[in-house]
Amino acid sequence: MDLGLRDKTALVTGGSKGIGRAVALALAEEGCHLHLAARTQADLDAVKAEIGGRHNVSVTVHAVDLSNGDAVRALAADCGNLDILVNNAGAIPGGDLQAIDEPTWRAAWDLKVFGYINLSRAVYAQMKADGHGTIVNVIGLAGERPDAKYIAGSTGNAGLMHFTRALGGHAPADNIRVVAVNPGLVATDRMEFLLRKRATDSFGDAERWREFLTNLPFGRAATSEEVANAVVFLASPRASYISGTILTIDGGIASRAG
In angstroms, the CA 132 to CA 193 distance is 38
**H-type helices in the chain, by residue range?**
18-29, 41-52, 69-79, 102-111, 113-130, 151-170, 189-203, 224-235
245 class by beta-carbon count within 10 Å (0-12 exposed, 13-18 middle, 19+ buried)? middle
In angstroms, the CA 5 to CA 32 distance is 6
Give a three-class secondary structure readout of 18-67. Answer: HHHHHHHHHHHHCCCEEEEEECCHHHHHHHHHHHHCCCCCCEEEEECCCC
Give yes or no: 124 in active site: no
Phi (first) and psi of residue 108, to 5 degrees: -65, -40
CB 250 within 8 Å of CB 217:
yes
In angstroms, the CA 73 to CA 18 distance is 24
Question: Catalytic site residues?
Answer: 150
